[in-house]
């Protein structure tokens, strides 16, 4: 069965410093992996998606993620944090074989200080 683990429930960075949000997944088959962002009391917005093409995926707002099969990881990074990046981030996996809906991690809250 597929699962996803976000290794940090809360990450705090200063504006202008790099962001790293960690995610590990478990999947029996070739997974599709996503990162979504949710600002307070808002719906989820897709940041980026991996579907077995390039292992380095570029998303919106300067975010990117690298798929590492050997480490079963899909960490989200951004070179320089902005105040508007403060939000909750969800790592998501789907299993192309099982045909089930998406499986969400529990989320990582990113705080950005000035």
Partner 1 sequence: SQTIHQWPATLVQPVGSPLSLECTVEGTSNPNLYWYRQAAGRGLQLLFYSVGIGQISSEVPQNLSASRPQDRQFILSSKKLLLSDSGFYLCAWSAGQTTSTDTQYFGPGTRLTVL
Contact 16, 81 (CB under 8 A): yes
- Cβ-based nearer residue to partner 1, 25 or 36: 36
- Cβ-based nearer residue to partner 1, 6 or 73: 6
Our finding on whether 26 is near partner 1 (CB under 8 A) is no
Which of 42, 58, 69, 82 binds partner 1 (CB under 8 A)? It is: 42
How far apart are the two ends of the chain, measured CA to CA in Å?
41
> Cα 41 vs. chain centroid, distance in angstroms?
19
Contact 63, 36 (CB under 8 A): no
Our finding on whether 69 is near partner 1 (CB under 8 A) is no
Our finding on whether 36 is near partner 1 (CB under 8 A) is yes
């Amino acid at each position: 069965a597929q699962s996803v683990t976000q290794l940090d429930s809360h990450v705090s960075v200063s504006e202008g410093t790099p962001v790293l949000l960690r995610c590990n997944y478990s999947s029996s088959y070739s997974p599709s992996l996503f990162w979504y962002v949710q600002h307070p009391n808002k719906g989820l917005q897709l940041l980026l998606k991996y579907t077995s093409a390039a292992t380095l995926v570029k998303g919106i707002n300067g975010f990117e993620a690298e798929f590492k099969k050997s480490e079963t990881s899909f960490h989200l990074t951004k070179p320089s944090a902005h105040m508007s990046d403060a939000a909750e981030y969800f790592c998501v996996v789907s299993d192309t074989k099982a045909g089930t809906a998406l499986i969400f991690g529990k989320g990582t809250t990113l705080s950005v200080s000035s």
